[in-house]
Amino acid sequence: MSFRERLSGNEAIAYAMRQINPDVFAAFPITPSTEIPQYFAQYVANGQVDTEYVTVESEHSSMSTCVGAAAAGARAVTATSSCGLAFMYEMLYVAASARLPITLACVNRTLTGPININNDHSDSMGARDTGWIQIYAENNQEAYDNYLQAMRISETPDVRLPIMICQDGFITSHAVENILLEEDSAVKRFVGEWNPEHALIGRDHPLAVGPYDTCPYCMEHKVQQAEAMKNAKRAILDVAADFEQTFGRKYGLFESYRMEDAEVALVLIGSTAGTAKACIEKLRAEGVKAGLIKIRVFRPFPMEEIAQALSHVQAVAVMDKSEGNSACGGPLFAEVRSACYDLETRPKMINVVYGLAGRDCAVEDVEKVYRHLLHILETGETGPRYLHMGQRSSEQEVL
């Protein structure tokens, strides 16, 4: 039976970790994810878990510890943000190519430089092609629920990929919200036990993990990894269906909000979705048919499903909370625009990069984006497709 509690997003992740009781937690602090290992250390000290809590000297060592533990057959977890994730960069590839189902809580923070501790998605977006599954949360409830589903997804036999559960630094990680928690016994039943088919410890047959891979074999292994990411889409939906049946909360690859008759729509990731929903209700009261696609799963990217959801929309703004540094838009824009390429009738589409390094995005800012889309419909002219919003500059922004 669910019960209500008030927790920050970091507390919610640590609480979920306690309920799951992983075998190994490799801990190194970095703002704004520091509270996760801090809270979990209390559970270790109090004897509430029997996790091997390993304090390491860096984030690179943290992921290295997880790789070794997962290769040995253990459930391994860690948490990080920003430069910490970047410092793991080499080992992120190693974990994915070795097909190790490690669970990482990423509390999104802008990636230096200049030095800044506030939220955007530059850290996890920088790791988007490392081979990790990536799932994002709008609020604390989703952060908790995503974490409960994470291990079952990554441990699915034809997936076996590491998974990154992302939430917005400070906005959700430190803000306290009312959320529904599940009983420990119900969580343990849902997550289940991890019994790896191949592991370095406790198995009779020989096994190599992360060896040198020669030319006659390496590409085949890369293709197997790519196929595993394709399989992850089905696994995510299967686990979500069981989660809904078990706990009553529904999740998919993305959330469609007021999209049934939308003429203008936004596509975005994370906590800004709540701001956008408030704006949509305001515009709907004025007769504007506004909608929202909130991406939950970025890797694997739900290309066909996104295209179908946007097929009837006339104008779309993809809002990136990360700069792509491609001179033509952010990473989410590239994915969404590519997804819509094969549509017979494509919506007019622009990219709005916003919220970098924690720059505020209020309801009135989101409304400016919708008004800009309405102006595109009125004039028939898309205008500049790559815009920034919210900076002090003479550069053209949304209307």
Sign of CA dihedral 127, 131, 135, 140: negative
DSSP assigned state of 123: H
DSSP assigned state of 276: H
Q: Which two tokens stand for residue 38?
A: 């801090």
- The domain spans of the chain are 3-247, 254-389
Sign of CA dihedral 387, 389, 394, 396: positive
Q: Are the beta carbons of 233 and 300 closer than 8 angstroms?
A: yes
pLDDT at position 3 over 90? yes
Q: Are the beta carbons of 249 and 339 closer than 8 angstroms?
A: no
Looking at residue 370, what is its pLDDT? Answer: 98
Tell me: the pLDDT tens digits for 344-370?
999 999 999 999 999 999 999 999 999
Mean pLDDT of the chain: 97
Of 395, 229, 358, 238, nearest in space to 301 by CA: 229
CATH number for 254-389 (one of 3.40.228.10, 3.40.50.620, 3.40.50.12780, 3.40.50.920): it is: 3.40.50.920
Looking at residue 107, what is its pLDDT? Answer: 98
Q: What secondary structure does DSSP assign to 10-47, as a single string?
A: HHHHHHHHHHH--SEEEE---TTTTHHHHHHHHHHHTT
Per the confidence metrics, is the pTM higher than 0.85? yes
Looking at residue 31, what is its pLDDT? Answer: 98
CA distance 173 to 249: 21
Looking at residue 161, what is its pLDDT? Answer: 98
One fold for 3-247 and 254-389: yes
Tell me: the pLDDT tens digits for 183-230?
999 999 999 999 998 899 887 788 888 889 999 999 999 999 999 999
CA distance 126 to 377: 34
Q: Which two tokens stand for residue 117?
A: 């501790």
Give the amino acid at 176. V
What's the fold here for domain 3-247? Rossmann fold (3.40.50)
